Amino acid sequence: MTVLAIETPEVFEPLLAPARYKGAHGGRGSGKSHFFGELWLEENVAGKLDCVCLRETLKSLEFSVKKLLESKIEQFNVGSYFDVQDRRILSKHGGVTIFEGMQNHTADSIKSLEGFDRAWFEEAQNASDKSLTLLRPTIRKPGSQMWFGWNPDLNTDPIDALLRGPYLPPNAVVVQANYLDNPWLPAELREEMEYDRKRDPDKYAHVWLGEYRRNSEARVFRNWTIEEFDIDPKAIMRQGADWGFSVDPTVLVQCWIEGRKLYVPHEAYRVGCEIVDTPSLFMTVPESERWPIVADSARPETISHMQKNGFPKIMSAIKGAKSLEEGVEFLKSFDIVVHPRCKHLIDELTLYSYKTDPLTGQVLPILEDKDNHVIDALRYACEGARRARKTERKPLKTIPEGRGGWMGG
């Protein structure tokens, strides 16, 4: 009996358990296809399995996952278990793997797949509603499964309506993954990612983070760059904190203002951070205990805890009716320079958007309440400077001679 030593990234572990629907969506470099390819390999080495590998259109086997499966067979040295033929792969247990395009199927022709154990649909963002409607009742053998891997395009695409909508089909497991979840991301891909992140934030969000393609006009921040820089020893640091709730992160961000530039050298970020662990998280930012911190006022008990545990200069943010909008506009008035290590701020500056009208696509003057935890902390950090600018006295108007005043009589 052959034992395969296959390491599975943590993000894909939920897909190892039996489920009728298995979905993995996300950006380039996440390893989605490699995970399903290795799952296919493991199951075929273990026993008889009939599998159909699908795309919406398949003009040539060159564009199928056949080459990926062949590479997995070679990588794990299990060639004795398979007979790789021109148009299919046979296993020594009697199973067959074939490669087809769903676009070519009709209600009659799809019946040829009724006895299959697995249907693996790659590039499922291209799947039509007709194809999914044909496929789902066809793969009905007891214990059969359907696997879907895709890079999201629009939230209206049929696969997203099926596996990311408000009502999942029964017995479905779906995960989201991107390059950050891939411990074996090749250096070449990382370089491509870094290039897109610096040059084209919208492409970075869509291609690498796996976000839906969006109207670039809806993006809030365009006034930022990623640069390495040294901290000015004369800089007056400003710090802001946002508290995590449930799955939201606890955040500390550090910055300073120099003329029309806002420099951001450090961030601390952790999801599920307990209150007792927050001081140690904040200490990962250099000299964070030295400088004042303006924090979200929604958690006074956390602020009190921090004051008693090494951060006596922490204080609550002052919130008003328009503090969110005014704070964002204040940040937009600067050229923001972000250090590359502030990865979460970079992601949020890329993704933070205004809402759009779902019918017309028109950008609305309403901020989306997501992708904004580090940005909120940055707003709090700059709150004092914003209020100081807002309350600056305007120059007194010069009163022309002869128009009154103590010398005008």
How many CA atoms, within 13 angstroms, populate the side-chain half-sphere of residue 31?
18
Rounded to an integer, the average pLDDT of 321-344 is: 93
Q: Residue 322: what residue type?
A: K
Mean pLDDT, all residues of the chain = 91
Judged by average pLDDT, the poorest of 110-119, 214-223, 224-233 is 214-223
- pLDDT tens for residues 246-294? 789 999 999 999 999 999 999 999 999 999 999 999 999 999 999 999 9
The pTM is what? 0.66
pLDDT at residue 216, as a whole number? 73
Other beta carbons less than 10 A from residue 147's beta carbon: 24
10-181 CATH fold = Rossmann fold (3.40.50)
Q: Residue 76: what residue type?
A: F
Spatial strand order in the sheet of 314-316? 224-226, 335-338, 261-271, 249-258, 238-242, 293-295, 314-316
- pLDDT tens for residues 167-210? 999 999 999 999 999 999 999 999 999 888 877 778 888 999 99
CATH number of 214-390: 3.30.420.280
Whether the pLDDT of residue 214 is over 80: the answer is no
Same fold, 10-181 and 214-390: no
What are the CA-CA distances from residue 103 to residues 40, 54, 140, 337 (Å)?
Answer: 23, 10, 20, 48
Other beta carbons less than 10 A from residue 112's beta carbon: 13
pLDDT at residue 395, as a whole number? 52
State the Cα–Cα distance between residues 379 and 376, nearest whole angstrom. 5
- DSSP character string of 88-106: EEEETTS-EEEEEEGGG--
pLDDT at residue 392, as a whole number? 64
Pairing assessment for the beta strands 172-177 and 363-367 based on DSSP bridges: unpaired
In the chain, where are the structural domains located? 10-181, 214-390
Cβ–Cβ under 8 Å, residues 182 and 7: no
Angle between helices 373-381 and 323-332 (to 10 degrees): 80
Whether the pLDDT of residue 403 is over 50: the answer is no
